[in-house]
Structure 1
Amino acid sequence: MSINKDFINKIVEEIKASIKIILEYSRDPFESLDDARKYSIRYHLIVIAEALSTLSIYLSRRLLKRTPETPLHAVHILMENKLIRSEEYRDMINVIKSRNLLVHRYWIINDEIIYNNIKRDFKNILAFINRVVDYVSKN
């Protein structure tokens, strides 16, 4: 099966756009964030998680000819095949697990903890998606 470059690029652009918005909102002190911005951060974390899940499943199937059972399994397959570094694996797994909390157990979410975690930035996720784009553009 071939890799659809446009599909990959669309997913990557969604991730980058959501990261940009989250980082923009997290420049302000937590106390100054209104509910709309807090919920926007939550939404964009879900977008990032969904896009990373889709990308991981797609690459597992198309590139590695494997059929993952879950998004987390897809990320694990990519790591087993040395397509994801350990730091990227950790961050991607955390984002995907956070998505599950945000969607299914939203009432236990502490927005300040989310805020403090996103302040660390998304360099590992960006490194992974940039490597994917480089690979796709060369093949």
Structure 2
Amino acid sequence: MLVEALIALCYHIARNAYGVRPETPVRTFSVLVEKGLMNAWEFEELVKLVRLRNLLIHRYWVVDDRRVYDSVRKDFKAVREFLERVKRELGF
């Protein structure tokens, strides 16, 4: 899943590039904002993706299928911009 890969990438960056060991995905994203690798808009969008992932995994019986469908159809511009910056600035 896209969100799992993003979380793993962000943990890897926080640990290896910045020497920080955050305990949650949201805190990991916060570290990247503090270090200037992620902007506030990307942070908000990635947090929304993590929340959707958590809903799908932990409370799937209350999932609004339309919400999931709309999320999948949306342009993942924040994800693409963040990944391009990681590639450009860190060479990943």
One of 66, 82, 87 as aligned partner of 1:112 = 66
Q: What is the match of residue 53 of structure 1?
A: 7
TM-score normalised to structure 2 length: 0.90
Q: How far 1:117 sits from its partner (Å)?
A: 3.0
Pair 1:80-2:34 in alignment: yes
One of 75, 80, 85 as aligned partner of 1:126 = 80
Percent identity over the alignment is 32
Give the aligned CA root-mean-square deviation in angstroms: 1.5
Q: How far 1:59 sits from its partner (Å)?
A: 0.6
Q: What is the match of residue 16 of structure 1?
A: none
One of 80, 91, 94 as aligned partner of 2:48 = 94
Tell me which of the two structures has the higher relative contact order, counting C-alpha pairs closer than 8 angstroms and 6 or more residues apart.
Answer: 1
Q: For structure 1, which segment, 116-125 or 51-60, has the greater mean C-alpha deviation from structure 2 after superposition?
A: 116-125
TM-score normalised to structure 1 length: 0.62
Q: How far 1:116 sits from its partner (Å)?
A: 2.1
Q: How far 1:63 sits from its partner (Å)?
A: 0.7
Distance (Å, rounded) in 2 between the aligned partners of 1:136 and 1:64: 11
Deviations 1:81-136 (A, max 9, x none): 11101110011111111111111111111111122233331011100011111223
Larger Rg: 1
Q: How many residues align?
A: 92
Secondary structure of the structure 2 residue equivalent to 1:121: coil
Q: What is the match of residue 103 of structure 1?
A: 57
